[in-house]
Chain A
Amino acid sequence: MNGDTLIEVRDLHKYYGKHEVLRGIDTQICQGEVVAIIGPSGCGKSTFLRSLNLLEPPTKGQVIFEGNDITAPGTDVDKIRQKIGMVFQQFNLFANMNIRDNITLAPVKLGIMTKEQAEKRALELLERVGLPDKAEAYPAMLSGGQKQRIAIARALAMNPDVMLFDEPTSALDPEMVGEVLGIMKELARDGMTMVVVTHEMGFAREVASRVMFINEGLIQEENTPQEFFEHPKNARLQEFLSKVL
């Protein structure tokens, strides 16, 4: 399953003022991997995820994406981000446009597809996330689960090499969690490389190829789901799992 290294993170540090949120993260994410990140609130999971596409520029350290150090000065960050899809907890669908435009905006404005191509692709993607009849709808008319499925479709429209998810189901009513996780499972099955910050332990156990425990700005444990959940070694992780499982 694991192919070449897609993202390599070296000694990543992030400060907000004097507060050191990430305190030296080293890891690699390989082609086709599904990495689940878990950890207590405020430990730096989002900050870590968001530094992978430089939405939060790291204070120190390197992020190497497909062989290029994207933290090096002079990097065309916008170009890199085209290849890194991101899905947010709060969906962040563009409120001023309908679903079709949400999906086609970036590919068209960035000159990757013509309008016709992008619209055709949008319909395929809507089909794929089970919302083929929502092209004309506006975000405000959709449920949370539907919004998040559209958000996934929007990210996929750029044909990214990796997808980042920051607690994609945390803002959803319980009955809508399943539909979103279902789509993420399908994505994983199709071989998409994914990094998922989540509180859904079931998803981590079932779908992830590796689970990562971040605590106090460090990766304190990472392992296959089996080992991770059955034989946690780190004391903080044991404590954390005892609370959430």
Chain B
Amino acid sequence: MQAFIEDFRLNFIEDGRYKYILQGLGNTLIISLLAVLVGIAIGFLVAIIRSNHDKTGHMKVANALCKIYLTVVRGTPTMIQLLIIYYVIFATVNVPKIVVAFVAFGLNSGAYVAEIVRSGIMAVDQGQFEAGRSLGLNYKQTMRYIVMPQAFKNVLPALGNEFIVLLKETSISGYIGLTDLTHGGDIIRGITYSPLLPLLAVAIIYLILVMGLSYCMGRLERRLRTNER
């Protein structure tokens, strides 16, 4: 017990080392939140373009661009994407690392969100779409009021899962020298040469975040579902 207290003091209290963790947690939260927003924006846009193309045959060029984007993002490791965006694309401009990170993770997540949302749109019965059109609603109105709300509900569990993956994936932010939660814990380890507590603390914080996220998604799902049965 004595040893544990000593270890705890060394890793978190001395020189205010807990601040590495706090700072890292803050960055992880900011990166994840902004990346989720970027990912949702890109993902829905791409999904809408792709399903519009599938349903109407329009938007051939945009659809082709979307497909390239999906192939590249899903076909290469996230880490490489992050490094390329940091060292190549943003090499000459001076943007804060945190911006680089959320842009990179957002671009990455967008591809997965896009395919999730597209599958959700396709899972909505074609009859729903036809009923909307038969009443005189145009394509956009039918998608907006009838298809998308149902698609969104269909994919909520998968989206929640994607956000959890994204949150954990931000743990490679350290590779561009950004102090995220993982890197914060690792800095302490490097100073104290005592790996157990800092890494355990980091793991527990991720776990709490993920469990909190799961809980919120579950509640949202239930709220959307109660209406219908």
Residues of chain A having any CB pair with chain B under 8 Å: 53, 55, 78-82, 84-86, 88, 90, 92-96, 98, 105-106, 109-110, 138, 140-141, 151, 154-155, 158
Contacts and interface: CB of A to CB of B under 8 A. Distances in A.
25 contacts: A78-B133, A78-B137, A81-B133, A81-B136, A85-B134, A88-B127, A90-B125, A92-B127, A92-B130, A92-B131, A93-B131, A94-B132, A94-B146, A95-B150, A96-B146, A96-B153, A96-B228, A105-B146, A106-B136, A109-B141, A110-B136, A138-B229, A140-B228, A155-B134, A158-B136
A46 to B, nearest CB: 11
A69 B130 CA distance: 22
Given A55-B130, A88-B127, A92-B127, A82 B229 contact: no
A47 to B, nearest CB: 13
Interface of B: 125, 127-128, 130-138, 141, 145-146, 149-150, 153, 227-229
Contacts of B130: 55, 88, 92
Contacts of A138: 227-229
Contacts of A78: 133, 136-138
A158 B133 CA distance: 13
B153 to A, nearest CB: 7
A92 B135 contact: no
Given A78-B138, A81-B133, A86-B134, A109 B145 contact: yes
B118 to A, nearest CB: 18
Nearest to B135: A106
Nearest to B227: A138
A158 B229 CA distance: 28
A82 B136 contact: yes
The 5 A-B pairs with the shortest beta carbon distances in the complex, nearest first, are A82-B136, A92-B131, A106-B135, A92-B127, A86-B134
B133 A55 contact: yes
A94 to B, nearest CB: 5
B57 to A, nearest CB: 12
Nearest to A53: B134
B138 to A, nearest CB: 5
B136 A96 contact: no
Contacts of B128: 92, 94-95
Contacts of B136: 78-82, 106, 110, 158
Given A53-B134, A109-B141, A155-B134, 12 more contacts: A78-B136, A85-B134, A90-B125, A92-B130, A92-B131, A93-B131, A95-B150, A96-B149, A96-B153, A110-B136, A140-B228, A155-B135
B89 to A, nearest CB: 40
Contacts of A86: 131, 134
Contacts of B146: 94, 96, 105
Contacts of B227: 98, 138
Contacts of A81: 133-136
A96 B135 contact: no
Contacts of A80: 136
A82 B131 contact: no
